[in-house]
Chains A and B, each alone.
Chain A
Amino acid sequence: MSGRNVVGKNVRKVDGLKLVTGGAAFTDDIQLPGMLYGKILGSPHAHARLKRIDTRKAKALLGVHAVLTYKDVPRVPHTTAGQSWPEPSPYDTYLLDSKVRYVGDRVAAVAAESRAIAERALRLIEVEYDVLPAVLDMEQAMAPGAAVIHDESDSKGIHDREHNVAGYIHRGIGDVEQGFRESDCIFEREFRTQRQQHCPIEPHITISWLDANDRLVIRTSTQVPYHTRRQVAMILQIPVSRVQVIKPRIGGGFGGKQEMLLEDIAGALAMAARRPVKIEYTREEEFYMARTRHPQILRMKMGVKRDGTILASHMIVLATTGAYGSHAGTVQGNTGSKVLPLYRAPNMLFHCHVVYTNTPVAGAFRGYGCPQGFFAQETLADEIARELGMDPLEFHSRNVIRLGDIDRLSAQLGEGKEGLPRVIRSCGLPQCMERGAEAIGWREKRAKTQDGGHLKRGVGMACTMQGSGIAGVDWASAFLKMNEDGAFFLQAGAADVGGGADTVLAQIAAETLGVTIDKIVITSGDTDSTPFDVGAYASSTTIISGGAVKKAAEKVRAQVLGLASKLLDTPPDKLECANNEVFTTCACRKSVSMSDLAMHALYKEKLQIMDGASHFNTDSPPPFCATFAEVEVDTETGQVRVVHLATAVDPGVAIHPKLAEGQVEGAVAQGLGYALTEELVLDGAGRPLNANFCDYKMFSAKDMPKLTTILVETDEPLGPFGAKSISEVPINGPAPAIANAIFDAVGVRIRKLPIRPEDVLKALRSEVAAQ
Chain B
Amino acid sequence: MKTMEVRLKVNGEGKQFAVAPGEVLLDVLRREGYFGVKRGCEKGECGACTVLVNGRPVNSCLMFAAQAEGAEVLTIEGVAHGDVLDPVQEAFLDSGAVQCGFCTSGMIVSARALLDRRPDPTEEEVREVMAGHFCRCTGYLKPVEAVLAVARKTKRGGRKQTARVAR
Please give the residue numbers on chain A whose beta carbons come within 8 Å of chain B beta carbons, in ascending order. Answer: 10, 12-13, 15-26, 28-29, 31, 198-203, 249-252, 254, 282-283, 497-500, 518, 658-659, 661-662, 664-670, 692-694, 698-704, 707, 709
Contacts and interface: CB of A to CB of B under 8 A. Distances in A.
A254 B138 CA distance: 12
B136 interface: yes
A702 B128 contact: yes
Interface string B125-158: 0111011011111111111100000000000000
A200 B143 CA distance: 17
A645 B131 CA distance: 19
13 contacts: A17-B93, A20-B85, A23-B36, A29-B35, A200-B136, A202-B102, A250-B100, A252-B102, A283-B46, A498-B101, A666-B99, A669-B136, A707-B141
Contact of B96 (A497, A518, A662): A662
A24 B137 CA distance: 20
A692 B108 contact: no
A19 B77 contact: no
B94 interface: yes
A251 B101 CA distance: 7
A658 B92 CA distance: 12
A19 B101 contact: yes
Most B CB within 10 A of own CB, among A21, A198, A200, A249: A21
Nearest to B104: A19
Interface stretch (B37-45, B65-73, B113-121): B37-45
B97 to A, nearest CB: 8
B139 A665 contact: yes
Given A666-B139, A701-B144, 17 more contacts: A12-B94, A16-B93, A20-B89, A20-B98, A20-B104, A21-B77, A22-B34, A22-B75, A201-B102, A201-B103, A497-B100, A498-B99, A658-B96, A661-B142, A669-B136, A692-B45, A698-B136
B94 A202 contact: no
Contacts of B34: 22
Nearest to B136: A252
* Overall SS of chain A's interface: loop
Contacts of B30: 28
A366 to B, nearest CB: 10
B38 A251 contact: yes
Given A518-B166, A669-B140, A13 B46 contact: no
B129 to A, nearest CB: 8
Given A10-B96, A666-B138, A693-B43, A25 B130 contact: no
Contacts of A662: 96, 99, 137-139, 142
Contact of B127 (A24, A201, A701): A701
Contacts of A22: 34-37, 75-77, 79, 105
Interface of B: 30-31, 33-43, 45-46, 48, 75-77, 79-80, 85, 89, 92-96, 98-105, 108, 126-128, 130-131, 133-144, 164, 166
A324 B128 CA distance: 41
Contacts of A704: 127, 139-141
A147 B30 CA distance: 47
Given A25-B101, A669-B140, A698 B134 contact: yes
Contacts of A200: 100, 102, 136
A497 to B, nearest CB: 7
Most A CB within 10 A of own CB, among B37, B45, B75, B94: B45
Contacts of B93: 12-13, 16-17, 20
Most A CB within 10 A of own CB, among B46, B99, B135: B99
A761 B16 CA distance: 58
B108 A20 contact: yes
Given A29-B35, A692-B43, A702-B128, A202 B142 contact: no
Contacts of A661: 96, 142
A632 to B, nearest CB: 18
B136 A28 contact: no
Given A22-B37, A693-B41, A498 B104 contact: no
Given A25-B101, A283-B43, A659 B140 contact: no
Given A16-B93, A23-B36, A252-B102, A282 B42 contact: yes
Nearest to A28: B39
A669 B139 contact: yes
Contacts of A669: 136, 138-140
A665 B99 CA distance: 11
Contacts of A199: 134, 136
Most A CB within 10 A of own CB, among B31, B100, B134, B164: B100
B20 to A, nearest CB: 9
B138 to A, nearest CB: 5
Contacts of B105: 22
Contacts of A16: 92-93, 98, 101
A658 B96 CA distance: 6
Contacts of B99: 252, 498-500, 659, 662, 666
B142 A498 contact: no
A758 B49 CA distance: 35
